[in-house]
A and B are shown apart, each in its own frame.
Chain A
Amino acid sequence: SHELTQPPSVSVSPGQTARITCSGDALSKRFVSWYQQTPGQAPVVVIFEDNKRPPGMSQRFSGSASGTLATLIISTTQVEDEADYYCFSIDVNNEQGAFGGGTRLTVL
């Protein structure tokens, strides 16, 4: 089965850089996208195709990917960035999609 692994939580101080990782065997062959979710809301895409930002997304959000590891990078982290973050990818072998388990970002 297609599985993506994320750390359950990441904590940073305001102004620091937050890095959230996502690992999985299928990542070496398919793009990763990242989603931000706040309580009670639908997810919002922050990064797609490993490192592209949607129109209007803050430049503080960036992404990288190498081999079986993808990373979401949030620079100059702000309190408003506190949320759950999920990676997503599709396994090209069986077209199975999967989200990572999610990472709770705390800014304090």
Chain B
Amino acid sequence: QVQLVQSGAEVKKPGASLRLSCATFGYTFSHYFIHWVRQAPGKGLEWMGIINSNDGTKAFAQKFQGRITLTRDSSTSTVYMDLSGLGSDDTALYFCTREPDYKILTGEFLYPFDYWGQGTPVTVSS
């Protein structure tokens, strides 16, 4: 079955960098985009960026431009998110989720964010 399995909890110091992974199972990796979404404690969902698992093209939220990198490893069906220059406001639960590539897939019930990873808690503290 479809699963998105994220890497474990992280504790980082201010200024450090972070690498999170999202390993996917149970579907054709190249047929779906992967989005990254985070949620700070007690706050709302925040969209961070998207990567096309097929060709690697990406887009990021403006606030993360310059300190976020998204990569994918097609051989392991895994997507990585790197975030540099961490601050305390980066403390959050980080999710990956998938969206169909509608240029490849057709069907009545294709929709974004149908499966989510379990979330990776990240704490940034000195």
Contacts and interface: CB of A to CB of B under 8 A. Distances in A.
Given A42-B95, A43-B116, A98 B111 contact: no
A94 B60 CA distance: 9
Contacts of B50: 95, 97
B45 A97 contact: no
B44 A86 contact: yes
Contact of A97 (B61, B95, B111): B61
For chain A, the bracket of interface size reads 20 to 34
Interface in B75-126: 95, 97, 109, 111-114, 116-119
B47 A54 contact: no
Nearest to B114: A45
Contact of B59 (A33, A37, A96, A101): A96
Interface in A66-87: 84, 86
Residue among B35, B44, B46, B62 with the highest chain A CB neighbour number at 10 A: B44
Given A43-B116, A45-B114, A86 B45 contact: yes
A61 interface: no
Contacts of A48: 111-112
Interface residues of B, number: 21
Contacts of A54: 109, 111, 114
Interface in A81-108: 84, 86, 88, 94-102
25 contacts: A1-B62, A33-B111, A33-B112, A35-B45, A42-B116, A43-B45, A43-B113, A45-B112, A55-B109, A84-B44, A86-B44, A86-B45, A88-B47, A88-B113, A94-B59, A95-B50, A95-B59, A96-B59, A97-B35, A97-B59, A97-B61, A98-B61, A99-B37, A99-B46, A102-B44
Given A95-B50, A102-B45, 4 more contacts: A35-B45, A54-B109, A86-B45, A97-B61
Interface of A: 1, 33, 35, 37, 42-43, 45, 48-49, 52, 54-55, 84, 86, 88, 94-102
